[in-house]
Amino acid sequence: MNELSLEKVFDLLGKGEISGSDKELKKLCIRIRELVESNGEDWVVQNRQKLLFEWEYIVREGIIGNLEKGEPNE
């Protein structure tokens, strides 16, 4: 499967806007594409609230930036 656009990710997650930096949102597109490939679009739609909750935690805690810098998460 090709890369999912941010607009497609917004559509699957039922949002017009999702928090995160450009780098974080690119990672979100990759992860949602992986979930679509393994579970299907319907699964993503059915689980969007949980996925959005987890995403907000990732952004709030700066997990993506910390992992790339090699810093431990506190």
pLDDT in tens, 46-58: 999 999 999 999 9
Q: Please state which of the ranges 4-13, 33-42, 43-52, 64-73 shows the lowest mean pLDDT.
A: 64-73
Per-residue model confidence (pLDDT) at position 69: 56
Contact 28, 9 (CB under 8 A): yes
Q: What is the pTM of this model?
A: 0.84
Long-range contacts of 62-71 (CB under 8 A, 24+ apart): 64/23, 64/24, 64/27, 65/23, 65/24
Q: Please state which of the ranges 1-5, 21-25, 48-52 shows the lowest mean pLDDT.
A: 1-5
Contact 44, 13 (CB under 8 A): yes
